[in-house]
Chains A and B, each alone.
Chain A
Amino acid sequence: MHSADPRLTLSSSDLRDCPGPEMMAARHLLLLLSQACLLLETGSLAAAPPLTASEAPLESPHFTACLSREQETFRCWWSAGSFRNLSQPGALRVFFLKKNSLSRTWMECPNYTASVPNECYFNKSYTSIWTSYCLQLRSRHHNVTYDERCFNVEDIVHPDPPVSMNWTLLNVSRSGLHFDIIVRWEPPPSADVKAGWMSLTYEVQYRERNASHWEVLDLETSTQQSVYGLHTNMEYEVRVRCKMRAFDNFGQFSDSIFVHVPGKVHGKESTFPVTVVFIFGVVGLAILFLLIIFSHQQKLMVILLPPVPAPKIKGIDPDLLKKGRLDELSSVLSSHPLCKAEMYREEPWVEFIELDLERMDAAEKTGCSDTQRLLGLVPHLGSSHRLAAKDGDLGRASCYEPELSEADPAVAAAFCLRPRVTSPELQSDRPAPDAGPAPVAGSAPDGEADGRPVIQTQLSTQSSVSMDFYAQVSDVTPLGGVVLSPGQQVRGPGEKGEGGDGQPLKNQKEGQKKEGEGGVEKEVPLPLLIVAPDSGAYTSELGNRQIGSDCSRREAFQDPPAEMPQPPPEKNAVEQFALIVPPAGEYQSPYFIPPTPQLPPVADYTVVQDVDAQQSLLLNPSTPPPPSMAPVKPPPAMPVGYLTPDLLGNISL
């Protein structure tokens, strides 16, 4: 920073050359001088006090300013201070000394400006740049030096303000609220910039019309400056001043120019409501959307996240049974390919089976079971058949299902399949009419006349053996007649129907004891497996355990094992009992006939004693457990009407 004499304040330049702004400066100077004169100063020749009117009144004459405008000439002004008597021209004299010259004589001011009082003007011949000047303010005669000032001319250069300022619109912002301009000017004409004698830097300032603070922009070497970020519809005042490069003395400000760009008044006002409407619309839509979501939350959840369907397992829905909807259950079972339960309604032969309901009731009262009646042991109810009484539960349960009561009771009773076959021997025992066997016989119009005697024989045979509670049905005639066999299975397929027929009674017994007389053929007439839900003896092994009620089991257990025909391969006895698939498709057996493996010929039936842990039937406790009994599990054949909820556990269709 160039350290200028603080007393070298900025003063007006040569009035003769440029009257414009210098008039203002001269006016300022005169004002100051007048203020100084007002202060009655009778002072000494002390150093010049600061140039303020409000200061102490005693103020000696002093130099007020020395200034050069173009670095070629310079002027100096002084003031008389408080000394009123020295204010007239000529009272004070200025002497100067150039340091570079060898002469040490002080020379007087070469030119006292005539138009301007108290001004000394040094023209080009007297002005030497890079030369130290010393000026002294002396009195006229007394050689009293009031003030002395030394400086270099280049240090007191204050360039003139730039001229020819104008502005050009650069651009207007898209919103129409801001604009940019570029201001151009010309360097002061007094400064010889073209010759390179002076290098100027400019400073642009702007402000709003009525503001008090000026915005100052950075120094600019070129003669143009861009102003950014001005507001439209607002008047701006722009001015510029200059200084020499690397020096600190600014010149006067140029005349201000006014910048005004009319903006889009309507645009600003119209965008506001549009924006407000837009915001409100968006908010409203958002609220509506949220309401919709929350009101239909459940549905949306289902749509977005559909519930995983439960696995559809083929079977019967236990809920159906729990709720007691048998109709649905029936429909379900009927729809199953294996279930042909509906067919039973159409069975013609079933209709022929008439049940003596009265007798049945009577028998029920007396505790007779179907088996008892089948065997013709009804009149022999006694202690020995006390157990049979417990079969009554079976019968009752099988025949008198509460659900079935809704259905055709006759049909339901028909399932009991109680062939009222009475042997001639039994007939005498039974007071019952032949209504029972009659239909049975009638149902076999095919000439199964032997059925009756066979049955009778069977019955009679069975009756002799008190422990035989079960009659083995060997065949079912196409017409629906049940053919009971004495148990021998040595008959071939052709002898199926008569396999047991021709056997005498005696042979029956033997046959039971032995493995089986005759050829043990692979293909044996599969005895009809009467599946009573309660009597689980003839059902599968699993069914044996779960389906069978206690009665049957106890019944089975309480049979004297010795009396029971238990051939060695009794392990396969169970498998023997299977439903006979009717050869002809005239009617369809209501029962399932599971495929059974080829079994060695054994007794037609046996009684299961126990089921061991491996779920194998123990027909004889002494016999070793059957090795591969467990895997063979023929599915139980069960009529639809006999299903109970607790049976469902083992149903695997």
Chain B
Amino acid sequence: MFRKLKGPVIFLLMFLDVQVIVGSTPICVHGHTGCQTLSLADLFDRVIQHSARVHGLSSDLHSEYEQYFLPSKNKISKINRNCHTSYILTPNGKENAQRLAGEDLTGVILKLLLAWRDPLSQFHRSMAQHEDFTSFSGNKALEMSDMMHLLGMISNSVRGLISNEALGPQASSSEARPMNDQQLLYCFRRDSNKIQIYLKILKCRIAPEQGC
């Protein structure tokens, strides 16, 4: 699944390098000649589709987890959850998100992506240990692992390009509180929705041709 996030990551990299976004940007990143140019709108669409897919997967995983492992719905427990990405300042409303500049918004997205690399791998490990998980996760676990791999690649590539100031303080893996699977799924679902909406806002701001 993270393979599909390669698109947005690549775009984000290019976006960071090039401060001004032009109409069409070649998608050949390996230096091959005669590359096919892809419009920004199409690129955005692909990215958003992938993020939507990620969000859907996370939602499914979360609901299934709650269905199997928490039959008695404890709403109070929901309140106490505190995601590890809470330190990241993200716009919580439409006006806030629209007020943010493109670069800032992209930085927020990248922060979120990076923040989820380790927890996802942790989750994947825990899922492999839990035999109960495999019964219901199935393909979703596989997709989660793919997302983790992609996140890892993104973070490594992004770290070299983005200055530390833009990224802000990073939460190292040591600081990360150990989350249970349910909380992790809840938080990931929320953050994937954030990523999707931020990307959509970016797209409709930059290339509002289709689907806006």
Contact = CB atoms under 8 A, between A and B. Distances in A.
Pairing of A with B: yes
Contacts of A194: 204, 208, 212
Given A1-B63, A194-B204, A196-B204, A130 B92 contact: yes
A478 B124 CA distance: 137
B68 to A, nearest CB: 12
B79 interface: yes
Contact of B194 (A97, A130, A196): A130
A214 interface: no
Contacts of B56: 246
A229 B100 CA distance: 49
B63 A3 contact: yes
Contacts of B205: 195-196
B90 interface: yes
Contact of B98 (A130, A134, A154, A195): A195
B84 interface: no
Nearest to A124: B93
B193 A154 contact: yes
Given A72-B94, A150-B78, A246 B194 contact: no
Nearest to A5: B75
A99 interface: yes
Nearest to A100: B86
A242 to B, nearest CB: 15
B60 interface: yes
A512 interface: no
Interface in B182-203: 190, 193-194, 196-197, 200-203
B153 to A, nearest CB: 24
Nearest to B192: A246
A196 B95 contact: no
Query: Max chain A CB contacts within 10 Å: which of B93, B205, B212?
Result: B93
A72 B92 CA distance: 10
Contact of A2 (B59, B78, B93, B95): B59
A130 B164 CA distance: 26
Contacts of B55: 246
Nearest to A197: B94
A124 B79 contact: no
Interface string B58-74: 01101100110000010
**Taking chain B's interface residues, is the majority helix, strand, or loop, or is none over half, making it mixed?**
helix
Given A2-B59, A150-B78, A130 B200 contact: no
A128 B91 CA distance: 9
Interface in A104-133: 124, 127-132
B190 A152 contact: yes
A293 B59 CA distance: 76
Interface string A445-483: 000000000000000000000000000000000000000
B52 interface: yes
Given A3-B73, A99-B79, 12 more contacts: A1-B60, A3-B66, A3-B67, A5-B75, A128-B93, A130-B92, A154-B193, A193-B212, A194-B204, A194-B212, A196-B205, A246-B52
Q: Closest 5 interchain pairs by CB?
A: A196-B204, A196-B200, A1-B63, A128-B92, A246-B56
Interface of A: 1-3, 5, 71-72, 97, 99-100, 124, 127-132, 134, 148-150, 152, 154, 192-197, 199, 221, 245-247
19 contacts: A2-B62, A3-B66, A124-B94, A127-B93, A131-B92, A132-B81, A134-B79, A149-B75, A150-B75, A150-B79, A152-B190, A154-B193, A194-B212, A195-B205, A196-B200, A196-B205, A197-B97, A199-B196, A246-B52
Interface of B: 48, 52, 55-56, 59-60, 62-63, 66-67, 73, 75-76, 78-79, 81, 86, 90, 92-95, 97-98, 190, 193-194, 196-197, 200-205, 208, 211-212
